[in-house]
Structure 1
Amino acid sequence: MTRAIRLLAVLGILALLTVLGLRWYQARPAAPEPMPALTLAVLDGRAGFDPAAIEGPYLINVWGSWCPYCQMEHPVLMALQAEGIAIYGIAFRDTAAAANASLDRLGDPYAGVMLDVDGRSAQALGIAGTPETLVVGADGQILARWSGPLTASVLRNRIYPALERGAGQD
């Protein structure tokens, strides 16, 4: 019996250390990364974008019309747009018809949106899945990234601080 209790205690401590390590990993500021070259297609009927031509800090949101988590975070993106934050979208492995239908139904928070039909641009960006949001500074460097839906806590602790850092890079 004592051996089982010790084993459970050790497993509990390991689980706690794992959770704390993951929280630290996600909370640490990322080192700036250069923006890779992207090969994106124009989404018919929407404004496109060229990362090299964007001035000031901005967000890149990688999403898919087929992604339920992307639909969950969509109201947050609409609120960010209402705050005046520049957001550019990359529809990942999507069709133009499905992406446009999703934006028509949910609203379009993007200053520009493009298609990454074959996934090469997402791969170049190091995207693990959708949704994923990148903060890009005024100098074009990727300052932060978040995998998963944006929440109030993520905005407060990761996105807004990175946008502030990115604004000071003129």
Structure 2
Amino acid sequence: MRRPWMLIPLVLFILLLVLFLKALNDKKTQQDLAIDPSTLPSALIDKPFPDFSLPSVEEGGPLLTQADLLGQPALVNVWGTWCVACRVEHPVLNRLADQGVIIHGVNYKDNTEDARQWLKEFHDPYQLNISDADGRLGLDLGVYGAPETFLIDAEGVIRYKFVGVVDERVWETQLGPRYQALVDEGGAP
């Protein structure tokens, strides 16, 4: 004959299982658990782009500083030749640049000569391209990896951060409208 107290662990297990399954089916719980990697928080939103003094990727190019980014709204795209996703987004950045979108690059933790060759082969959408070989600027920006794209206003204040590949959908739904609003605020680039 079985003793009833031996069934207590089984009853508790079933009760916990039912509660767990109910929680998973609860819409609010699903929303709380959902993580969208493109919306990683940034402490720099509404703050000036970090100060820096770094060389240009362009051979013989000038030393670039935060002041070089001022004057018009722009995308600041963190990229690297080692980044597979950067290769995927690069044709979109070229199309945007051809349409007049101002894009600056931060070549992150990369060999500058490799970056020059890559841009020669795949075309260069960047008006300015900062060589951040040691990753210090990336660290100051809170970069998790590449690609990451920041939207700055004409005063160099970071207004938005997107983590991941900029494709047509991302441009049309997230970056493009925000970029256009900044352009409309301060005049055409």
The TM-score normalised by the length of structure 1 is 0.84
Q: Which position in structure 1 is the counterpart of 2:133?
A: 117
Equivalent residue number for residue 7 of structure 1: 20
Residue 114 (structure 1) shift:
1.8
The reply on whether 1:37 has 2:51 as its aligned counterpart is: yes
Deviation of 1:124 (Å): 1.1
Compared CA separation, residues 113 and 56, structure 1 to 2 (3 A): same
For residues 46 and 83 of structure 1, what CA distance do their matches in structure 2 show? Answer: 27
Q: Whose radius of gyration is greater, 1 or 2?
A: 2
CA distance in 2, matches of 1:138, 1:166: 8
Q: Say which is worse superposed, 77-86 or 10-19, in terms of deviation.
A: 10-19
CA distance in 2, matches of 1:15, 1:116: 39
How many residue pairs get aligned? The number is 166
Counterpart selection for 2:89 from 73, 79, 82:
73
Once residues 47 and 9 of structure 1 are traced to their aligned partners in structure 2, the CA distance between those partners, rounded to angstroms, is 60
Residue 143 of structure 2 corresponds to residue 130 of structure 1? no
Contact 2:51 2:65 survives alignment (8 Å): no
Per-residue deviation, 1:39: 3.1
Cα offsets for 1:12-42 (capped at 9, x unmatched): 43334322xx45x9399x8412111023222
CA distance in 1, matches of 2:169, 2:40: 11
Q: What SS does structure 2 have at the residue aligned with 1:128? A: coil
1:103 to 101, 104, 119: 119
Q: TM-score w.r.t. structure 2 length?
A: 0.76
Match of 1:17 in 2: 32
Unmatched tracts of structure 2, length 5 or more: 1-12
Once superposed, what is the RMSD of the aligned Cα atoms?
Answer: 2.6
SS at match of 1:40: strand
Check the 8 A contact 1:88/1:110 in 2, yes or no: yes
User: Counterpart in 1 of 2:172?
Assistant: 156
Identity %: 28
| Aligned equivalent of 1:141 | 157
* Match status 1:88 vs 2:88: no
